[in-house]
Each structure stands twice: as C-alpha cells, then as structure tokens.
C-alpha cells in the first residue's frame, strides 16, 4: 500500500476537478477512481461504482455544462475535504431567480494508493440572495 502525503492527495483531488469535471476528460475517471469506488450523498442514487459515477459526470456536464471551482481543500491522512462553488453554463436557469444555476458544495474524498475510493457529497443550490 502506497501512502501519499496530504499535499499529494490534495493535488489529486484538485486535478480531478480540473481535468474531469471542468475539462470533460471523463476517460481519466479510471485513473482517479478506484475500481471499488463507493459514492455516498449527491448522485449516489445513480449507482455506487466507477461506471455509474462516469454516467453521473456525463449527465451533469451534458445537461448543465456544470463547472466547479475549488475554493478550499483540507486534508488529513487519506481524507480530503473539498469546499466547492459551481455554476451551470447552459440555458438552465434557477426557477426562483432566473439566473444560471449556481451553488456551493462540500465533498469528502477518501483516497488509497493515489485513487479515490469513497465520496460523500452535499450540494446546496444558491438562492437569489446568494447569487
């Protein structure tokens, strides 16, 4: 078992958001996500394995052109917490404000041997007063 430093683990998580979510390089999911991956929280209803996670990413990217901004990464041992903001670039609008979809999220990643093995995600759409 390879033990990476907290800084190395944070770099993996940051690169995942940049390359996969923002640049649409879904073919890299196998590099980042372990075969035994388990997804908890937002998106887990689509399935809790690597292939289901790829489908979730494609769906969100295709429908909303959603992009993430990593606001902060906190790491301890094999765990990385990402505080994110995000927005959809498409015509999809928030029903309350009429503005493009935006929000904030917190995702906890568990890593092992340089790959993500578990994910707990919470996402809160921004209200009109927060946009």
Q: Which long-range contacts (CB under 8 A, 24 or more apart) does 94-101 make?
A: 94/125, 94/126, 94/128, 94/131, 96/127, 96/128, 97/127, 97/128, 97/131, 99/128, 99/131, 101/64, 101/66, 101/125
Is residue 79 within 8 Å of 103, Cβ to Cβ?
no
pLDDT digits (tens, 9 = 90+) for 25-43: 999 999 999 999 998 877 7
Task: Provide the residue ranges of all domains of the chain, joining segments of one domain with +.
Answer: 6-130
Q: What's residue 72's pLDDT? A: 97
Give the model's confidence band at 99: pLDDT under 50 very low, under 70 low, under 90 confident, else very high.
Answer: low
Residues 28/14, Cβ–Cβ less than 8 Å = no
Q: Kindly state the average pLDDT of the residues 9-34.
A: 95
Residue 63: partners with Cβ closer than 8 Å, 6 or more residues away: 90, 92
Most confident of 38-42, 77-81, 94-98: 77-81
Record: fold of 6-130: Nuclear Transport Factor 2; Chain: A, (3.10.450)
Rg over CA atoms, the chain:
15
């Amino acid at each position: 078992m390879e033990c990476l430093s907290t800084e190395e683990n944070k770099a993996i998580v940051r690169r995942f958001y940049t390359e996969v979510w923002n640049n649409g390089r879904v073919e890299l999911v196998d590099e980042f996500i372990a075969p035994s991956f388990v997804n908890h929280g937002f998106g887990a209803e689509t399935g809790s394995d690597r292939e289901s996670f790829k489908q979730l990413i494609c769906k969100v990217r295709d429908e909303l052109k959603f992009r993430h901004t990593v606001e902060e990464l906190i790491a301890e041992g094999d765990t990385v917490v990402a505080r994110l903001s995000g927005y959809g670039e498409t015509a999809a609008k928030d029903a309350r404000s009429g503005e493009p979809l935006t929000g904030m999220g917190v995702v906890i990643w568990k890593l092992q041997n340089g790959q993500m093995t578990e994910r707990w995600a919470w996402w809160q759409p921004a209200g009109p007063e927060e946009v």
